[in-house]
Amino acid sequence: MKKGLEEINQLVGIWGSLICNNQGEIILGNTPPGLNKSALENINRNGISMFTSANGSMQGISEAVLHYEERKLFVLDLEKVFLIVICTPSVDISLLRMTVNVLLSRWDGDQKVQKEINKRFVERI
Amino acid sequence: MAEGLRGNLKQLALLDIIKMLSSGNRSGRLDINQAGKSGEIYLERGNIVHSATGTQIGEKGVYTLMGWLEGEFTFTPDVASPDRSIDVATEQLLLEAARQAEQWEDIKEVISSTDAVFNISPSGSTSTISLKPLEWQVLAQINGERSVIEIGEILGLHEFEVARIVYSLTTAGLLNEITDAKVIFRDIVDETFFKMLSEFFTEVMGPIGPVIIEDEIRLLGEEQSAFPQNKAAELVERISLEISDSAKRTEFQKQMVAVLKG
């Protein structure tokens, strides 16, 4: 999983990426040093609550690009965990989306990754 | 879910689309895409409550998007806004947008687009000119390479504000637009990209592959012979969505991501 986040971070316009559980707590992060962990987890919770607070009206939507101050947040609902990518405005969202899609298909077939994800599952906030 | 709405800004101006949605008390998200850039406007019962494009959020976002004369829009009804960045009444917002749109018309007589690049006129003005601090800041950024939009990003200004200043400096005889600058500075994808794209896509889709590629290039408002680098990933993604088998689609994306990353 760590290698996957590194792959994402290599794209132009990516500031950092992380995996968090359904309550926003960071499981694995590849973000620039100096970023405040609790602020980051707060951002995660805001992103996650967007998926859960709309009383099911967003059912079927698993991806969102949120604008957060001068950053873009690419939030992907992986059901048991969330993948969050922090981007600068110059990010190529299409390239990011395809890179993530390829990565997820690899994770789908990786038992070690699936075991790790299952282990980290908690109910949604 | 209620039926959405999509189209091209060339056919229907953004101001008119919003007026229509607003008068119909519609709620949802309006996505606008133009040349690799994107933005969104959220409406709640006909009122604009949030907008964002790049670093421009709120009212600034709306005014920036109103300046886009080309591109595609999609309205998805009943999508809740993730944020509330606009407190101003929608009527007031649309009034200001209409005023700016009128000014844009004048500006566009002098500035071909917000991608336009200017240099300082060697002959200068024939009369004495006094500059306000903001005008001086914009003038100081003119170097024959930076576009109006890039200067806005550097100075943290809305592109309309920069365009308005560049317009007044140009009409005062201080600046000249460099014609063909867009072509000179725009990165174009090389032949290998299209060769690989066509080869991989035809492998999955058969002989219809190149036809779909041509269609998508045209829908993006581009030509294969001068296709901009910053739209290459968008083109690949759009094309990949034509592949119904998800495993094959992912494999195609994997191959093309490798090409895009070089």
A22, A78 contact by CB (below 8 A) = no
Domain range enclosing B130: 111-184
B155, B138 contact by CB (below 8 A) = yes
Helices (H), A19-121: 37-52, 93-108, 111-119
Answer yes or no: do B72 and B134 share one domain: no
**Spacing of C-alpha B160 from chain mean position:** 13
Which DSSP string do the residues of A14-43 spell out, in sequence order?
EEEEEEEETTS-EEEEE--TT--HHHHHHH
Answer yes or no: do B93 and B165 share one domain: no
- B256 and A CB contact within 8 Å: yes
Out of B129, B158, B184, a domain closes at B184
Smallest CA–CA distance, residue A81 to chain B, in Å, is 20
Which DSSP string do the residues of B18-78 spell out, in sequence order?
HHHHHHTT--EEEEEEETTEEEEEEEETTEEEEEEETTEETHHHHHHHHT--SSEEEEEET
Question: What does pTM read for this prediction?
Answer: 0.54
Q: How far is CA A18 from CA A45, A49, A116, B196, in A?
A: 13, 17, 14, 32
Q: What is the mean pLDDT of residues B110-134?
A: 81
Q: Does residue B11 surpass a pLDDT of 90?
A: no
Measured between CA atoms, the residue of chain A closest to residue B35 is: A92
pLDDT bin (cut points 50, 70, 90) of residue B55 is: confident
Out of B75, B106, B137, a domain closes at B106
Of A64, A61, A47, residue with least CA distance to A124: A47
Between A10, A66, A89, which is nearest B82 by CB?
A66
**Inter-chain touch A89–B55, beta carbons under 8 Å:** yes
Q: Give the amino acid at B145.
A: E
Contacts of A95 in chain B (CB under 8 A): 233, 257, 260
Answer yes or no: do B100 and B9 share one domain: yes
Answer yes or no: do B197 and B117 share one domain: no
CATH number for position B153: 3.90.930.60
Between A10, A11, A97, which is nearest B237 by CB?
A97
Q: What digits encode the pLDDT tens for the residues A96-109? A: 999 999 999 999 88
Out of B153, B184, B215, a domain closes at B184
Q: Please, which residues 32-61 of chain B have a Cβ atom closer than 8 Å to chain A?
A: 36, 38, 52, 54-55, 57
pLDDT given at position A39: 82
pLDDT bin (cut points 50, 70, 90) of residue B125 is: low
> In total, how many domains does chain B have?
3
B11, B73 contact by CB (below 8 A) = no
Q: Does residue B3 surpass a pLDDT of 80?
A: no
Question: Measured between alpha carbons, how far is B258 from B26 in angstroms, rounded to an integer?
Answer: 42
**Inter-chain touch A98–B233, beta carbons under 8 Å:** yes
B240, A105 contact by CB (below 8 A) = no
User: Which of B257, B259, B260, B261 to probe by mutation at the A interface, max A CB count within 10 Å?
Assistant: B257
Contacts of A94 in chain B (CB under 8 A): 233-234, 236-237
* CATH number of this structure's domain A2-119: 3.30.450.30
Answer yes or no: do B28 and B102 share one domain: yes
Query: B52 pairs with which residues across the strands?
Result: B40, B57
The percent of residues above 90 in pLDDT, for chain B, comes to: 37
Between A10, A64, A94, which is nearest B233 by CB?
A94
For chain A, the C-alpha Rg in angstroms (whole number) is: 14
Q: Which residues of chain A have pLDDT under 50?
A: 55
Report the range out of B31-35, B81-85, B184-188, B226-230 with the highest average pLDDT: B81-85
Pairing status of strand B37-44 against strand B28-34: antiparallel
Contacts of A99 in chain B (CB under 8 A): 257
